[in-house]
Structure 1
Amino acid sequence: MKIVFKDLKRGVVKVVPETTDDIWTLYTVIQPGDLVRARTVREVHFGERGSGRSSRVPMTLTIRVEKTEFQAFTTRLRIRGLVIEGPEKYGVLGKYHTINIDLGRELEIMKPRGWPRALLEKLESSSLQPAAVIVAVDYDEYAVAIARGQGVRVLAEGGLHLPGKDDPSREEKMREALTVIAKTTAGIVEREEPLLVVVAGPGTLKDALAERLRPLLPREVRLYVDHVSMGGHAGVLEEVRRGVMRNALREAASIRAEKFIEEFEKLLAREPCRVAYTIDMVMEAARMGAVEKLLVLDELLHHPDPEVRKRVDELLRLADATRAEIQFVSIEAPAGAKVKSLGGVIAILRYALQLQGKACS
């Protein structure tokens, strides 16, 4: 979740959801009575209804929320309520409207009575993960930055100070400089614990740096190489604007799901009473407050069967009420197929439980 703006005195927070987890967080945070402002599209009739033409007009509206729901067949949040602010010429005030929130769509949430601490912490914690380290390098300068939902912060930068192209020591000095940058980056990765690293720059220098950096990174950290036109701070910002890093961060959710699966499979083999799978089994554990971590196939959020969606919604709310860690995984991710084969929902439990339909021995 990217937090764009925050004014708690007015009860206003502006955010951009970047993963399915963020969409779910918004679903739990936005409540009836809240005000939501976003860019949307509305059918507008011109002339007398039935005799005039109509057109879908883009506009910015503020609605007083009455209901939120996931839209079937899409990972999209629907927010419905009465319009309280909008262009007067279209006569939308006081009418109902549904704002659809997709990944990457900015929205402003205002809570007239202020933000409860628990909801604000949930929103802020969603903005902390996943994280990426970005390294932008060219023959003149480099910068290493940490990118999280709330923004980008440069942690190290400097010049390469290379001799001229005709200097025989240039290649050796370049190798030394890349080694220093690689070690600096590895140190930042160790401290910040990102899920991925993006090395960006023009030409082949970025590839040489990535080659030196790869063996210094933990096995679970993904390394990406991308092209930008310059190094240094400007190169970091160019990488962020390109959107490649954002796509990589979305993929990081898949990385976390794979780590979840690894932990689940180890417990399934050694302590089978510490895990649960299928909606029925996990629901039983959730009602006892036993779910510590929950991984849900995101297609269940928009399952065509409304009864399935209702049960998944109940399960998620139970898990959320007992402060379980909730993650989502796409069917297109490698871990998604495994989760689907286990009923679309798997959980790691706080303590061993003998659940119906599962033997623990």
Structure 2
Amino acid sequence: MKIVRRDYIRNGPGYVRMIPEESDDLWVAYNLMAVGDFVLADTVRKVLREAASGGRDAERVRLKLEIKLESIDYDKEGSVLRLRGKNVTQNEHVKVGQYHTLEIEMHRMFTLRKEVWDSLAIDLLHQASDPAASFTKDQFHKHLLLEAERRQLRPIIENKSRLLLVHTTGGYKHNLKEVLDAPSVMNLIKDTKAAQEVRAFKQFNEMMSSDPNRACYGPKHVEVAHEQMAIQTLLITDELFRNADIPTRKKYVDLVSSVKDIGGTALIFSSMHVSGEQLATLTGIAAILRFPLPELDDIEM
């Protein structure tokens, strides 16, 4: 992701102007955006003009619009973001309040404006804009082995037969589902974030079956468990951070930070990954507890 300009206050308002340079950058942009945010971009709109004959002709005009987001759709096959919302700036062709759909594609600049840039959004932006070598798996494999020989990196040289090249349809976390289908690969990537999510969700389900008082789900039950400092592992989907209500988003951001501050683990599940989809069926938030809390059964979810 190329960052053209950024001007924001942590936990306050501001904007970032950026250009997606590859398909994964669109996935990053999708995760940065939330209902209620504002996006400014060039677009095309069909307008009607008075014709010389007295009738009206349709014409497509290029213009710049800023909309307040009401829906965000990521088409990973077409590598495009479709953003629908109401126009918020006066324009000769589109009135304030009229609906429009912006399409954000690779190499097309746009500006994202938020009322609140919380710590999760800022961290994601920093990760996306960190410079990194852009290699295909084959190029990187070749580069790695050559560098290992040149610098005599014995751990790599001695274990090169264990390096696996795996094809996926994309290069982001949600594509790990294609990799995780192979048990041998799962074993080799056991320390990755996606694999940690899979293991944590499995552990949560096992706890629900064997010791249900040490597992809970739903915002209210998780909140009560946290008040008693009982959360060992927090499981939460990234969808909850796209809530249109800013105080609600802030509540979940603060919860993640607070769980970590008291020594717990917080795992943010991708909604595009199979484990994230499964967690979403349980309200999108759950927890494995340090000790039993049977009294949660008496609290409405």
TM-score, with structure 1 as normaliser: 0.47
The match for 2:78 is none
User: In 2 relative to 1, CA 334–97 (structure 1 residues): closer, same or farther, beyond 3 Å?
Assistant: closer
SS in 1 for 2:143: strand
- The AA in structure 1 aligned to 2:34 is Y
Q: What is the alpha-carbon distance in structure 2 between the residues aligned to residue 131 and residue 106 of structure 1?
A: 22
- Could you give the per-residue CA deviations for residues 48-101 of structure 1, whole angstroms, max 9, x where no partner exists? 7x942335x3735142x5x3233589885434332367xxxx634767453445
- Could you give the per-residue CA deviations for residues 235-274 of structure 1, whole angstroms, max 9, x where no partner exists? xxxxxxxxx77x1325446464553131132244357555
Any residues of structure 2 matched to 1:213-228 within 5 Å, and which?
213=160, 215-216=162-163, 223-224=165-166
Judge conservation of contact 2:4–2:18 (CA < 8 Å) in 1. yes
Q: How many residues align?
A: 248
- Could you give the per-residue CA deviations for residues 152-197 of structure 1, whole angstroms, max 9, x where no partner exists? xxxx967xxxxxxxxxxxxxxxxxxxx849x969859xxxxxxxxx
Judge conservation of contact 1:131–1:249 (CA < 8 Å) in 2. no
Q: Is structure 2 residue 125 aligned with structure 1 residue 123? A: yes
Q: What is the alpha-carbon distance in structure 1 between the residues aligned to residue 64 and residue 30 of structure 2?
A: 20
The match for 1:248 is 171
Judge conservation of contact 2:42–2:62 (CA < 8 Å) in 1. yes
User: In 2 relative to 1, CA 78–123 (structure 1 residues): closer, same or farther, beyond 3 Å?
Assistant: farther
Q: What is the alpha-carbon distance in structure 1 between the residues aligned to residue 82 and residue 17 of structure 2?
A: 20
Judge conservation of contact 1:38–1:108 (CA < 8 Å) in 2. yes
Q: Is structure 2 residue 18 aligned with structure 1 residue 14? A: yes
User: In 2 relative to 1, CA 289–337 (structure 1 residues): closer, same or farther, beyond 3 Å?
Assistant: closer
User: In 2 relative to 1, CA 286–315 (structure 1 residues): closer, same or farther, beyond 3 Å?
Assistant: farther
The match for 1:264 is 201
The match for 1:59 is 62
Q: 2:253 aligns with which of 320, 327, 339?
A: 320
Identical aligned pairs, as a percentage? 13
Q: What is the alpha-carbon distance in structure 2 between the residues aligned to residue 101 and residue 353 of structure 1?
A: 49
Q: Is structure 2 residue 84 aligned with structure 1 residue 81? A: no
SS in 2 for 1:329: coil
The match for 1:345 is 284
Q: What is the alpha-carbon distance in structure 2 between the residues aligned to residue 112 and residue 335 of structure 1?
A: 29
The match for 2:216 is 276
The match for 1:148 is none
For structure 2, the 5+ residue unaligned runs are 9-14, 76-80, 181-192, 258-266
Which one scores higher on RCO, CA 8 angstroms, separation ≥ 6?
A: 2
Q: 1:44 aligns with which of 44, 47, 52?
A: 47
Q: What is the alpha-carbon distance in structure 1 between the residues aligned to residue 248 and residue 117 of structure 2?
A: 23
For structure 1, the 5+ residue unaligned runs are 145-155, 159-178, 189-211, 218-222, 226-243, 303-308
SS in 1 for 2:56: coil
Judge conservation of contact 1:44–1:54 (CA < 8 Å) in 2. yes
User: In 2 relative to 1, CA 346–356 (structure 1 residues): closer, same or farther, beyond 3 Å?
Assistant: same
Judge conservation of contact 2:271–2:277 (CA < 8 Å) in 1. no
Q: Is structure 2 residue 34 aligned with structure 1 residue 27? A: yes
TM-score, with structure 2 as normaliser: 0.54
Q: What is the alpha-carbon distance in structure 1 between the residues aligned to residue 213 and residue 107 of structure 2?
A: 41
Q: What is the alpha-carbon distance in structure 2 between the residues aligned to residue 317 and residue 27 of structure 1?
A: 13
